[in-house]
Chains A and B, each alone.
Chain A
Amino acid sequence: KQEVTQIPAALSVPEGENLVLNCSFTDSAIYNLQWFRQDPGKGLTSLLLIQSSQREQTSGRLNASLDKSSGRSTLYIAASQPGDSATYLCAVPDNNAGNMLTFGGGTRLMVKP
């Protein structure tokens, strides 16, 4: 059974810092990996999707990398801003169960002005 872990669970940084969020998964036979952002009480916004054949994806100040062999992905946020404050979740699909997503517990990020 796939298990996804995110470290740290919470992170507080001053504005302008570059930061790295970590995601690890136990079964490396994944089809893709998605990173999501969730504001308090809201739904999930897809940030980046990395296919299994890719090593990284970039969108603006965000860069996500994927190392299937080690079961790890990182989300790098450059020059953090207070508006980046949110919970960040990573998820991988289980290809044998209707492509259900297995999520990590999330990293709660606060960027202080």
Chain B
Amino acid sequence: ETGVTQSPTHLIKTRGQQVTLRCSSQSGHNTVSWYQQALGQGPQFIFQYYREEENGRGNFPPRFSGLQFPNYSSELNVNALELDDSALYLCASSSEQTAVYEQYFGPGTRLTVT
């Protein structure tokens, strides 16, 4: 069974640029959630995708957007990057088949905005 994978591992961008982060969900999981974790803080929920539709969104501006593909992999896009977007971005997958919605996290993508 393949776990959750994310790419790239690290990324450095300049303020104002756009970035795309990628996530492959665990085998058999159809739900993907994205979280932002600033240094020294707990993760904050960005949004969730279930069967290619957005299924919940946290308190993040519209410049944070996402996609889920038919194979349940997902992308997080951030436009007009700001310095405060520097963080660890975590992807988690889950499935209603487990009946407990336990979420499995990937290793994260470290984004630095300069």
Contact = CB atoms under 8 A, between A and B. Distances in A.
B74 interface: no
Contacts, number: 75
Interface in A79-113: 89, 91, 93, 97-106
Nearest to B90: A43
Contacts of A34: 102-103
A interface majority secondary structure? strand
A97 B56 contact: yes
B interface majority secondary structure? strand
Given A34-B103, A41-B110, A98 B43 contact: no
A30 B42 CA distance: 19
A84 to B, nearest CB: 19
Contacts of B47: 98
Interface residues of A, number: 26
B90 A44 contact: yes
B33 A100 contact: yes
Contact of B48 (A42, A99, A106): A99
Interface of A: 4, 31-32, 34, 36, 41-46, 49, 51, 89, 91, 93, 97-106
Interface of B: 6, 31, 33, 35, 41-45, 47-48, 50, 55-58, 88, 90, 92, 94, 100-108, 110
